[in-house]
Amino acid sequence: MLTQTFLDELKDYIDNALFSSDFICYSPVSEDILVYSPEIISQDIEDYIDNNRQPVLNQVLFDLIDKRGLTDAQVYNKAGLDRKLFSKIRTNPAYKPKKNTLVSIAFALKLSEDEFDSFLETAGYSLSNSDTQDLIIKFFLEKKRYDIDELHEAFDRFIPKKNRLLST
């Protein structure tokens, strides 16, 4: 159960992030257009991919699970996921779970803010300071509160159900 003090703190956090952000507009810069042959571009792309590829999501996930000394069952049960979905994440490196699934897993693993951001980024997601749900998640991470039920309680308090990404 969330205390009124915690809820008031969360409301202030959301209000400050949503209504006091600076807006910066950049003007486009013109650059000369360079022409390359398809072979050069193809090789450049391959080199870029080889030099910049990061581990895939399932590899990162299971490294985190191993690092914490947990079992798959402990994680998927705490995250409220079924074994089938978790197995799909484990066995298919190309599978991209929904953001809400990754948030639940991250909370089950009690990831730090940096680990959380990196974990979401691995799947192509991030948290936005312009989204109330994301701000609530960030607030919980900052406070190191990893209870999924409390997170949903905060969603119920601050986000109308029709606007929610994470189901409760």
Homologous superfamily of 54-168 in CATH?
Answer: lambda repressor-like DNA-binding domains (1.10.260.40)
Question: Who wins on pLDDT, 47 or 67?
Answer: 67
Domain ranges of the chain: 54-168
pLDDT over 60 (residue 166): no
Q: Which amino acid is at 129?
A: N
Task: pLDDT band for 168, please (50, 70, 90 cuts).
Answer: very low
SS3 125: coil
Candidate ranges 4-8, 29-33, 96-100, 157-161; pick with highest mean pLDDT: 96-100
- At 16 the pLDDT is 80
Confidence (pLDDT) at 33: 57
Is residue 159 a contact partner of residue 153, using CB atoms and an 8 Å limit?
no
Q: What is the dihedral of CA 70, 73, 77, 83, to 10 degrees?
A: 140
pLDDT at 66: 96
* pLDDT tens per residue across span 7-34: 888 888 888 877 665 555 555 655 555 5
